[in-house]
């Protein structure tokens, strides 16, 4: 491998988005404020390294609120929750901190408004993903889930109600466009979101990968297997005819992938810490490859911390 891979091109932008930064900092600040333990419903973000690091500091991740002691503090993950989860937290007397990404909250708000106005709603997304489950919970009687263009060809929607579609925030831009095209062909009056639901970070990272494809022989995407936006980066590369693999960290790289490759592209999903990318870069550098960043792009999006946390910090000051 050392004699073959000559260059590593880093995609830009990559790594943490503003919603992930906000969610991770929320747990860190809650631990500093309340001490151990701070409970978190589901993984705060979909990255195993982030979860293990926060566990070491005292965060306790649970799948269900029944695992949280009554009266304890619980953080809701960046992926959002259904109203039923919030109601359950109230019933158990839990102090809640909502770290839902504001861009996911926007989709939830759209779902509620469409449902209240009598719309039948198509949600484009992946079944079982926590973000999708939360959005479905906002209007379960009004929303139908569509996962693919094939689903869109066969979905049945009422003829006597206005129609609209919304999407998961971490989808493939290209695949979503195909699904929307099918829906618009079948249902010309279907309304679209006022602003695109696929988040800026997901779109930017996919475009950054596309710009690399003509220059690389292989793409490595640093991200955990349950990270939807990371998986979509792999899909983008493969869709463009370039082999690509998702790796949780340096240890997941199979050196056989690198045989015969001169230029390797490297990126990371929106929930992957940059230190994991740095470790991969150092590994390639030690083996003689030159690492450089392709067309650096700076993202300046930021979100305020959850209001519940900011109030608690002010009260404790």
Going by C-alpha positions, the residue among 151, 164, 60 that lies closest to residue 118 is 164
Q: Same domain for 95 and 107?
A: no
Is residue 131 flagged as an active site residue? yes
User: What's the CA gap between 164 and 110, in Å, rounded?
Assistant: 10
Q: Residue 130 falls within a domain, yes or no?
A: yes
The stretch 286-292 carries a mean pLDDT of 96
1 falls in which pLDDT band (50, 70, 90)? very low
User: What's the CA gap between 90 and 202, in Å, rounded?
Assistant: 33
pLDDT tens digits, 196-248: 999 999 999 999 999 999 999 999 999 999 999 999 999 999 999 999 999 99
Element containing residue 10 per DSSP (H, E): strand 7-10
194 falls in which pLDDT band (50, 70, 90)? confident
101, 121, 139 — which closes off a domain? 101
Q: Same domain for 134 and 148?
A: yes
- DSSP SS3 for 184: helix
- What number of helices (H) and strands (E) belong to the chain? 11, 12
131 neighbors 171 (Cβ within 8 angstroms): no
Q: Answer whether residue 253 shows pLDDT above 90.
A: yes
What is the pTM (predicted TM-score) of this model? 0.95
Q: Residue 25 falls within a domain, yes or no?
A: yes
CATH number at residue 162: 3.40.1010.20
Going by C-alpha positions, the residue among 137, 187, 141 that lies closest to residue 165 is 187
Q: What total number of domains does the chain contain?
A: 3
Q: Residue 11 falls within a domain, yes or no?
A: yes
Annotate 67-135 with DSSP letters as a single string: GSPTT-EEEEPTT---HHHHHHHHHTT-EEEE---HHHHHHHHHHHHHHHTT-EEEEES-TT-HHHHHH
CATH number at residue 92: 3.40.50.11270
pLDDT tens digits, 263-279: 999 999 999 999 999 99
CA atoms within 13 A of residue 53's CA, in its CB half-sphere: 15
Q: Residue 71 falls within a domain, yes or no?
A: yes
Strand blocks (E) in 234-309: 243-247, 263-268, 290-293
Residue 298 corresponds to which tokens in the numbers above?
């700076």
- Expressed as residue numbers, the domain containing 114 is 103-186
186, 217, 247 — which closes off a domain? 186
Q: Same domain for 81 and 118?
A: no
Q: Same domain for 63 and 126?
A: no
Q: Which of these is catalytic: 131, 192, 231, 293? A: 131
pLDDT tens digits, 95-153: 999 999 999 999 999 999 999 999 999 999 999 999 999 999 999 999 999 999 999 99
Q: Residue 192 falls within a domain, yes or no?
A: no
Q: Answer whether residue 59 shows pLDDT above 60.
A: yes
pLDDT tens digits, 10-51: 999 999 999 999 999 999 999 999 999 999 999 999 999 999
Q: Residue 303 falls within a domain, yes or no?
A: no
């Amino acid at each position: 491998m050392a004699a073959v891979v000559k260059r590593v091109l880093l995609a830009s932008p990559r790594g943490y988005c503003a919603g992930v930064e906000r969610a991770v900092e929320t747990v860190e600040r809650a631990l500093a404020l309340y001490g151990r333990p701070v409970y978190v419903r589901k993984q705060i973000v979909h990255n195993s390294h982030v979860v293990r690091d926060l566990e070491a500091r005292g965060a306790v991740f649970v799948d269900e609120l029944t695992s949280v002691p009554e009266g304890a503090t619980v953080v809701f993950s960046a992926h959002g929750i259904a109203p039923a989860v919030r109601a359950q937290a109230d019933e158990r007397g839990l102090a809640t901190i909502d770290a839902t990404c504001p861009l996911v909250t926007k989709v939830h708000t759209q779902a509620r408004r469409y449902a209240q106005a009598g719309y039948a709603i198509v949600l484009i997304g992946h079944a079982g993903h926590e973000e999708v489950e939360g959005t479905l919970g906002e209007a379960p009687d009004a929303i139908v889930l569509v996962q693919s263009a094939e689903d869109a060809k066969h979905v049945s929607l009422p003829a006597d109600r206005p129609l609209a579609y919304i999407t998961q925030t971490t989808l493939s831009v290209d695949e979503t466009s195909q699904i929307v095209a099918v829906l618009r062909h079948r249902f010309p009056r279907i309304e679209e979101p006022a602003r695109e639901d696929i988040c800026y970070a997901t779109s930017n990272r996919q475009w950054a990968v596309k710009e690399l494809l003509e220059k690389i022989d292989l793409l490595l995407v640093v991200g955990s297997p349950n990270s939807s936006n990371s998986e979509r980066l792999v899909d983008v590369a493969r869709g463009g005819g370039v082999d690509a693999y998702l790796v949780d960290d340096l240890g997941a790289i199979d050196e056989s992938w690198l045989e015969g490759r001169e230029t390797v592209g490297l990126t990371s999903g929106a929930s992957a810490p940059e230190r994991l990318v740095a470790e991969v870069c150092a590994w390639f550098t030690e083996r003689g490859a030159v690492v450089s960043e392709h067309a650096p792009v700076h993202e300046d999006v930021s979100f305020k911390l959850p209001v519940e946390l900011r109030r608690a910090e002010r009260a404790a000051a």
